[in-house]
Chain A
Amino acid sequence: MPIGKSLRAGFPIFTEKAGLRYLDSAATSQKPASVMEAMSRYYSTSNANPRRGVYSLAQEATEEYERARGRVARFIGAKSEEIVFVRNTTEALNLLSYSMQDMLAKKKNRPVALTRMEHHSNFVPWQQAARRAGAKLAFVPFDAKKRITAGNLGKLAPRPDAPSVLAITHASNVLGTLNDIAGIVRYAHEEWECPVVVDAAQAAPHLPIDVKRLDADFLAFSSHKMLGPTGIGVLYMKEEWRERLPPFMSGGGQIANVGDRTSTWADGPAKFEAGTPDVAGALGLAAAIEYIGRTGMEKIGRHEKKLADRLRRALAGMDDVEVYGPPDGQDCIGVVSFNLAGVHGHDLSGILDRHGVAVRGGHHCAQPLMRMLGVNSTVRASFYLYNDTDDIDALLEGLDEARRIFSRL
């Protein structure tokens, strides 16, 4: 399979929007035609409400939906029963923060641990859950390279103040740094005896993930950042936790038996999937995973790293540009955040837009991290498999124009 600009023909948006230099895949990715076709095919040929009807069409919809679950499970080395479909990463993390409520309250003398590297979606739900439970928050510090390893956990809290839960991102959506999740989980399990919730929204689209190797208790990611549709996401939950945690939402499809005063819950992931699920979305995600599989995840990661390193090198040679995150790009995904001196991120991204370059300018839903970096906003370029050197060239041209405009005084 090819990679880079030769792939663009398979992504209709690059034909619709000729000259688009899309460097905002960390926000959401573009979609290949095969994903949209899979969704459209489902509505045309197999649509019914799954897990309810006995007629054959409903059976077919159920089979399609469960096949998608199996595809997602294989993608991260999990069992089908460990995959809960949700709307997106944010919903997965909110679900957990509410389902863990009783547990957090019971252990309220232990802090809820998180990091200042989190996207708001893995920060605010835990901040609020700790408040509801009457527990304190504790923050895991970064190392000098703005990366988190097991060693940083030791600096947080010695026992007996071990946290009741640790929520941590696999990869920073601003810095691009990859945290050592396997080592972190081992430490949290052995030293704190606490479960670990991993936000894999930025990691799952760009590197192979094996939940057995990571040994994380929970892992969440979104379809829309990995070539799939919006509106569907994944919460991986170790089997033991599926039994221990109560559902967050209740209603249709997630019960075993409903009495007048009490109810019991369905076995399996259905327990956490109240209401008619997004079947077309699940099939779109499965098609996205197949697309990624055909290209090869390692190859995608190498391609992105090559492009990100090229941009980092170009920016490193500019005196008026500050790059956030490790300058050597070691242990990083293809995300590069920077600022041009004297030019606000909003202005720079506006000027880049005139060159067809779509980058994010702002706080990236990571205000605690922005405060640590001492900036209000940065410009972020993020790479995916359809990007190529022409995107970087256009970005650098736009940067020159911003310099020209803002030095006119």
Chain B
Amino acid sequence: MADDKEEIYRQNILDHYRSPRNFKKLKKIDARAEVSNPSCGDRFDVELAIGQDGRIKDIGFSGSGCAISMAAASMLSEQVVGRKAQEVRALDRKFVLDLLGIDPGPSRLRCALLGLETVHKALEKK
């Protein structure tokens, strides 16, 4: 029990939770979406600025969530800038879990994937 306790709340996860990257509103928005997790009330709003070349120029996310969902969304936000929208659409669950570096377990998987889900939904509408 003592081991996996250290595993989930790693230093870098707590760091991203406390100081989430790209936690902001964008001025110029090319795509946006809002997704909530009905089981816990968490909600993310994602805004994207997309260049002529189809690459993500900037991302801003806002809302509230637990350490796992905030850290995952924050880490993901660092990864999407500079990538083509098409590439971002192809990012999957494994990509996010590798970024987190932990196994959140079945009850927290939805938390871990909430950010990715919101980014995907924003690009869907694009």
The answer for the CA separation of A230 and B69 in the assembled complex, in Å, is 32
Listed by A's residue number, 23 A-B pairs whose Cβ atoms lie within 8 Å are: A343-B67, A344-B67, A345-B66, A346-B40, A346-B66, A346-B111, A347-B9, A347-B66, A347-B68, A350-B66, A350-B108, A354-B1, A361-B40, A363-B40, A367-B41, A370-B41, A376-B40, A401-B5, A405-B5, A406-B9, A406-B14, A409-B11, A409-B18
Which residue of A344, A362, A401 has the most chain B CB atoms within 10 A of its CB atom? Answer: A344
- What 8 A-B pairs come out closest when comparing CB atoms? A346-B66, A344-B66, A363-B41, A362-B40, A376-B41, A405-B9, A347-B67, A347-B66
Q: Chain A residues near B67 (CB, 8 Å)?
A: 343-344, 347, 406
Query: Does A408 sit within 8 A of B, measured CB to CB?
Result: yes
Task: Give chain B nearest CB distance to A105 CB in angstroms.
Answer: 30
Task: Give chain A nearest CB distance to B42 CB in angstroms.
Answer: 7
Q: Chain A residues near B41 (CB, 8 Å)?
A: 362-363, 367, 370, 376-377
Contact among A367, A401, A405 for B14, CB-based, below 8 A: A405
Contact indicator per residue, chain A 196-216, by CB within 8 Å of chain B (1) or not (0): 000000000000000000000
Query: Does B92 sit within 8 A of A, measured CB to CB?
Result: no
Task: Give chain B nearest CB distance to A270 CB in angstroms.
Answer: 36
The answer for the CA separation of A409 and B41 in the assembled complex, in Å, is 26
The answer for the CA separation of A406 and B10 in the assembled complex, in Å, is 10
Q: Chain A residues near B43 (CB, 8 Å)?
A: 376
Query: Does B31 sit within 8 A of A, measured CB to CB?
Result: no
Contact residues on A (Cβ < 8 Å of other chain), bracket? 20 to 34
Contact B14 A377 (CB under 8 A): no
The answer for the CA separation of A362 and B66 in the assembled complex, in Å, is 10
Chain B positions near chain A (C-beta within 8 angstroms): 1, 5, 8-9, 11, 14-15, 18, 39-43, 64-69, 107-108, 111
Contact among A347, A350, A377, A409 for B15, CB-based, below 8 A: A409
Q: Chain A residues near B69 (CB, 8 Å)?
A: 346
Contact among A347, A401, A408 for B11, CB-based, below 8 A: A408
Given contacts A344-B67, A346-B40, A347-B68, contact A354 B5 (CB under 8 A): yes
The answer for the CA separation of A346 and B66 in the assembled complex, in Å, is 6
The answer for the CA separation of A345 and B14 in the assembled complex, in Å, is 15
Q: Chain B residues near A406 (CB, 8 Å)?
A: 9, 14, 67
The answer for the CA separation of A377 and B9 in the assembled complex, in Å, is 20
Q: Chain A residues near B9 (CB, 8 Å)?
A: 347, 351, 405-406
Given contacts A405-B9, A409-B15, A409-B18, contact A345 B40 (CB under 8 A): yes
Contact B14 A350 (CB under 8 A): no
Task: Give chain B nearest CB distance to A168 CB in angstroms.
Answer: 23
Task: Give chain A nearest CB distance to B68 CB in angstroms.
Answer: 7
Q: Chain B residues near A377 (CB, 8 Å)?
A: 40-42
Task: Give chain B nearest CB distance to A88 CB in angstroms.
Answer: 19
Q: Chain A residues near B11 (CB, 8 Å)?
A: 408-409
- Give residues 323-375 of A contacting B (CB, 8 Å): 343-347, 350-351, 354, 361-363, 367, 370
Residue of B nearest to A402 (CB): B9
Residue of A nearest to B108 (CB): A350
Task: Give chain B nearest CB distance to A357 CB in angstroms.
Answer: 13
The answer for the CA separation of A294 and B67 in the assembled complex, in Å, is 45
The answer for the CA separation of A343 and B108 in the assembled complex, in Å, is 15
The answer for the CA separation of A204 and B18 in the assembled complex, in Å, is 42
Which residue of B18, B41, B43, B107 has the most chain A CB atoms within 10 A of its CB atom? Answer: B41
Residue of B nearest to A350 (CB): B108
